[in-house]
Amino acid sequence: MKTKVVVGVDLGGTNTKVGLVDRYGEVLAFRRFKTDSHLPFADFLQRLKGHIDEMVETTTEDIEVVSVGIGAPNVNHFTGEIVDPANLEWPSGVKLTELAEAEIGLPVRATNDANVAALGEMEFGAGKGMKNFVVLTLGTGLGSGVVVDGKLLLGQDGLAAEIGHVNVRPDGRNCNCGLKGCLETYVSATGIKRTVYKLLADRQVDSRLRNLSFNELTGEMITEAALAGDAIAAEAFIYTGEILGTKLADIVAYFNPEAIILSGGLTRAGSLLLQPSRKMMEERLFKAFRGRIKLEISPVTGSNDAVLGAAALAWQEYEN
C-alpha cells in the first residue's frame, strides 16, 4: 500500500520552502527556492509545481500525494486570496488556492502564516494534545494564531487573532498599519530595535550597540549583545518582556488557554525574554489563572517548522 503524504508550502517574501510530509510529521523531501514575486504569480506556481513533481519522482518510497497546504502572509482563510501583502509584489487579491489547485491538480488549502504556526504546534509541536492555546510568532512583526476547543479561531471574516495590533499605549509608536501603539511596535524584532534606540537616547551607559546605525541593527545582534551582558540590550529585553507580559495577562483573560507558545527569531534570547514576560504576566493575571498558564518557547525550530505547519493544514483538509 502506498504511503499517503501531503505537500506543505511556506510561501515567504524572500524564500519559499516546500516539503513532502507524512501523517507523523516526518519530512520525506524538502526544498527551498526564491519566491521571486517580481515575476507573475503563474510563474511562481509553475516553479512550485516543478519542485513538487521532482520531489515526488525522486523519492524512493511508494507514496501518494493527497493534498497541499500553504501558509503565506495575509491570506484570507475563507477565500484563499492573498490580500494587501506587504512583502510580495503580486497585486492584492491573488487567488492563491484556486490557481494553485488548477496548476497542481490536488486539493489546496491556504491560511495566513501565523495560523499555520498554530496548526504546526498543535499537530507536531508544543501544542500537541492541547485543545486551547495561543501561539505568538515574534519575527519582523508579531503574528498570532489561537486554537479554541481544538480548532483555529477564525472569526467572522477569517481575520481573528490580529494580536499584533491590539493597543499597548493610545499615543504610542507609529505602526505600519496606520494605528499608534500596536503591540508589534514593541514586541517583535523591529519593536525591540526601536526600544534599543529609545534606551540609547535615555541612558548614558556604554553599549556595543552605540556603534550601529538603525538600519544596520538587527534583532539577532540585540539578542547576542544581551546574552553577552550588554546593559542596553539586556534592559531592552526586560522592557519588551514586561510589555509582552502585560498583554499575555489580557490574552489569558480573553481566551483562558492552557498554554501560550512563543516562536520566532526573538525567542532565541530564551529566558532573557521569558523571565520578565512571565513575571509581569503573573502579576497582572486575574487570580483564577495565577500559576496555571504555561508560557513556553516553541520546540519546533529549524527551516522545516513552517512547512510542518502547512502540512498540518493539508492533513486537516484531507481528513475533513
Torsion of CA 300, 303, 306, 307, to 10 degrees: -110
Does 254 participate in binding a copy of itself (rule CB under 8 A)? yes
107-115, 191-199, 211-219, 279-287 -> range binding a copy of itself (CB under 8 A): 279-287
Q: Do the beta carbons of residue 272 and residue 227 sit within 8 Å?
A: yes
Binding to a copy of itself, residues 132-151 (CB under 8 A): 132, 146, 148-149, 151
* CB nearer to a copy of itself: pick between 228 and 253: 253
Interface pick for a copy of itself out of 39, 56, 160, 221 (rule CB under 8 A): 160
**Buried-state track 115-138, b at ≥16 Cβ within 10 A, e below 16:** bbbbbbbbbbbbbeebebbbbbbb
Interface pick for a copy of itself out of 163, 234, 281, 311 (rule CB under 8 A): 163
* CB nearer to a copy of itself: pick between 208 and 279: 279
Does 289 participate in binding a copy of itself (rule CB under 8 A)? yes
The torsion angles phi and psi of 260, rounded to 5 degrees, stand at: -120, 125
Question: Among all chains, which residue has been given the C-alpha cell 538600519?
Answer: 215
Least CB distance to a copy of itself at residue 318 (A): 21
Q: Find all residues with CB under 8 Å of 130, minimum gap 6, and list them.
A: 122, 147, 258, 259
* CB nearer to a copy of itself: pick between 19 and 245: 245
**How far apart are alpha carbons 216 and 256 in whole angstroms?**
40
Does 166 participate in binding a copy of itself (rule CB under 8 A)? yes
Binding to a copy of itself, residues 233-252 (CB under 8 A): 246, 249-250
Helix (H) or strand (E) holding 137: strand 133-138
Q: Do the beta carbons of residue 167 and residue 179 sit within 8 Å?
A: yes
Does 292 participate in binding a copy of itself (rule CB under 8 A)? yes
Amino acid identity for residue 273 in this structure: L
Question: Among all chains, which residue has been given the C-alpha cell 520525506?
Answer: 28
Draw the binding track, 91-130, toward a copy of itself (x: CB under 8 A; -: no contact): ----------------------------------------
Give the footprint of a copy of itself on this chain (CB under 8 A): 83, 131-132, 146, 148-149, 151, 153-163, 165-167, 170, 177-179, 246, 249-250, 253-258, 284, 286-289, 292
